[in-house]
Structures are given as structure tokens and as C-alpha cells.
Structure 1
Amino acid sequence: MSTRSHAPLIRLARFKVEELQKQMAEIDRARAAIDDQIERLEESVPEEQAVASESREGFVAYGSYARSVIKRKENLRASREEVDVQAKGLRDRLEAAFSELKKYELLEERRLARIEESVRAAEQAEMDEIGARLRGVAH
């Protein structure tokens, strides 16, 4: 039974959780930015098709544009997959850090409950002693 406070461990574990949460938020922003880029590319295709159909030069140039859009979307999807893999690893680390924090908080709660119980027991023993003295005086 440890009588030392777990507060330093709790602070350290809480800091670790907060840092991992910040990293997770950055990954979420990166994923959203990639998704936004993909969406904008997909929205640009019909517009470019309409412009390309207006002239022969546009029609000829549209083929290379379409290939570049396809390649760019493939690259963005690959980047999103990499971000998703990083996010999974980070989620696992965050879950472990959160479990560690909860463990330390639970240990601290138990420690404080033991202290409180021992204080109550000491107070009760003192009250019992006072009661015994009073009974001794009354008899």
C-alpha cells in the first residue's frame, strides 16, 4: 500500500493524452484537407468537359487534363490511406495513454479513500476513548 500521491503520474499521463489528442486533431485536419482536394478535383471535371467540348484544341487538351486529374486523385487517395494508417496507430497509442491515466486516477482515488478511512477510524477510536473515560468518571 503506497501512501505517496499519484498526482505527478496523473499530470504526466494527462499531458501525454492531451498531446496525442492534439496530434489526432492534426491528422483529422489533414484527412479533411485531402478529402476536400479530391472533392474539388471531382467537381472540376464536368466544368472542364464543358469547356473542352467548345473547341477542337480544348477537346485535344482535355485528354491530358483528365489523365492528370486521375493521377492526382490516385496520389491523394494514397496520401489519405497513409494518414488513415497513422491515425489508427495514433488512436491505439491514445487509447493506451487514456487507460494509463485512468489507472493512475483510480489508484489515487483508492489511496485517498484509504487515508479518509484511516482518519475516520482514528477519530472513532478517539471518540471511543473519550466515551470510555466519561463512563469511568460517571461510575
Structure 2
Amino acid sequence: MTKWAASLIRISNHEVETLQKRLAEITERRMAAEMRVTLLDAEAEAEAKNAEGDPSAGWYMIGYREGSKRRRADMLVQIEQCQQEEAGARDALSEAFENLKKYEHVAEQAKILAAKKMNAFEAAQMDELSIRRAAVGGR
């Protein structure tokens, strides 16, 4: 394999690995945000059950529910942003992987071509050797 092909493949591998790490981080952030939404919903439900037994808690529940709705909306926006970022990262990773495979294919073809040239050169040398032997033996 030529130096340029090995370097190109190594750089492309690095790019794929970097994009895989980035995608994993984005997915982790999205999952954490989804978990926070679930916890927020469970917390709101528990707070509502606690407020059922206390008549004075009704006034506090109005503010709590508004705050809970805002936090939930913020989390949903964050999840949406993570999903969009994740889609972009997946596309970039797919493209980088395709490029890596192209480079590997080109390197393999270059290796095959070099082997063919070497075989043709060896065949030409053998032909020349046999012609010389025939010429010397024919005298």
C-alpha cells in the first residue's frame, strides 16, 4: 500500500472515530433530557397527590404546575434540538464511513494493479531470458 493511501485511510479512520464519539455524546444528552422529563412528570404527579390531602396546598399547586409546564417545555425543546443534532451527526458519520470505504477500495485496487505490473515485468524478464537461451543454444 502506498504512503498516501495509508495516510488517507488513517485520517479517515480518525474522522469516523471522532464522529462516532460525537454521536454517542449527543445520544447521551438526549437520553438524559428524556429521563429528566420522565422524572419531572413523576415529580408533578407525586406533588399533585400530596396536594390532594392538604386544602392550603391548592394555592401553591397553581405556581408549581406553571413552573413544571415551563421546565417540561424547555426539556422538550432540548430533546428536539438533540434529535436534530443527532440526525446531522448520523449523516456526517455515514458520509465519513462511505469515504473511508472508498479510500480502502482505491488502496486495494492500487495494490492489485502493482501486483499485476510486477507479474507482467517478471513475465517479460522470463521471456527475455528464454529468448537469450534460445539464441545462445541455437549457434
Equivalent residue, structure 1, for 2:19: 20
Equivalent runs, 1:22-101 vs 2, <5 Å? 22-101=21-100
Residues 23-76 of structure 1, C-alpha deviation per residue, up to 9 Å, x if partnerless? Answer: 110000000000000011112222111100111122221221111111111000
Deviation at 1:5, TM superposition (A): 3.7
Partner of 2:113: 114
C-alpha distance in 2 between matches for 1:78 and 1:5: 45
Q: Which piece of structure 1 moves more, 121-130 or 45-54?
A: 121-130
Q: Say what the alpha-carbon RMSD is for the aligned residues.
A: 2.1
Equivalent position amino acid for 1:15 in 2: H
Q: Secondary structure at the match of 1:56?
A: coil
Count residues in correspondence: 137
**Gapped runs of 5+ residues in structure 1?**
none
What TM-score results when the alignment is normalised by the length of structure 2?
Answer: 0.85
Match of 1:6, SS state, is helix
TM-score, length-scaled by structure 1: 0.85
Instruction: Write the distance in 2 (CA, Å) between the matches of 1:48 and 1:136.
Output: 105
**Structure 2 alignment gaps of length 5 or more:** none
Structure 2 letter corresponding to 1:37: R
8 Å Cα contact 1:5/1:108 also seen in 2: no
Aligned 8 A contact 1:24 1:91 in 2: yes
Q: How much has 1:100 moved relative to structure 2?
A: 1.6
Q: CA deviation at 1:95?
A: 1.9
Distance 1:128 1:48 in 2: 93
